Amino acid sequence: MRPARPRHVSSLIASVPVFVFLVVPTLIVLPVAFTGSRYITFPPQQLSTEAVTGFFRDQAWMSALSASLQAAGVAVVIAVLLGGTAAVALHGRTFPGKAAITGLLLAPMIVPAVVLALAFYQFFISVGMVGTVLPIGLAHAVLAVPYAFLTVRASLAGLNPALVRSASSLGAGAFSVMRFVYLPVIRPGLVAGALFAFSVSIDETVIALFLQSPNATTLPVKMFTDIQYNLTPKIAVSSAMLVTVATLGLLVQVCFTIRRRSVARLLPLTAPEQTG
């Protein structure tokens, strides 16, 4: 790959400004969160943890954080259960309508958020589910199902179909097959799906804005409404927190991918032959 070196260097040089352009605006929230001023200012005049501690003492911000976590919890559990079981059910089967079912499962990724938001808004009002975090969590679950479905489906790609048959011939019922054959294989997919579902829910704003109520205001919604009235650095604190959560999620995901790759390298399909 020697001759390709100069091109590597030039593409590296070209990618630096793009990287800066993409990441730096996001990272600005970090110093802003540690400003000593009472308003969002950049660059910060003096450094202080006042805004951070203020954020965690503020009842309104804490309830927004709690609403976000609750909605995300509901979304993660439902998305992983539905997406995971759907992926297992569709694995290795061919039947008419399979493509349609897959399309339906993936549809929430394509439908514009504002359209979904309006639909959820009308639906939850008509069934009288308003004023709590639950409808937000349910709506986020719909958004997150495709992610869990895709990650679990990807982890199933390496499953030897004979394992399922083998387990049932050895006396395993559906539950045992799930537990001893599918679960160990799809576990990384479930974890990745849960992380995706969590990050989808935690920063989703449009639907949460439509479904908000005094008792159900999520963090992004609170940030959005607050920034119109006062420019408290607590907004930056909350942004910094979301950025940190997203970064951590990404890192965990990267770790999983690296580990799975290295395991895959150690696990050739046929073991080298030795004298039996």
Q: Which residues contribute to the site for another protein (CB under 8 A)?
A: 160, 162-163, 165-173, 176, 180-181, 184, 266-267, 270-276
Q: Which is nearer to another protein, 22 or 162 (CB)?
A: 162
Name the token pair of 232.
């408290």
- Alpha-carbon distance of 71 to 82, in angstroms, equals 16
For residue 179, the minimal CB distance to another protein (Å) is 11
For residue 271, the minimal CB distance to another protein (Å) is 6
Q: Which is nearer to another protein, 103 or 184 (CB)?
A: 184
For residue 170, the minimal CB distance to another protein (Å) is 4
Q: Which is nearer to another protein, 113 or 172 (CB)?
A: 172
For residue 158, the minimal CB distance to another protein (Å) is 10
User: Quick check: 237 and 55 in contact, CB under 8 A?
Assistant: yes
Q: Which is nearer to another protein, 39 or 180 (CB)?
A: 180
Sequence-separated (6 or more) residues with CB below 8 Å from residue 136: 67, 71, 207, 208, 211, 212, 216, 218
Name the token pair of 36.
């000593």
Name the token pair of 197.
């579902």
Q: Which is nearer to another protein, 30 or 172 (CB)?
A: 172
Q: Which is nearer to another protein, 164 or 208 (CB)?
A: 164
For residue 155, the minimal CB distance to another protein (Å) is 13
For residue 175, the minimal CB distance to another protein (Å) is 11
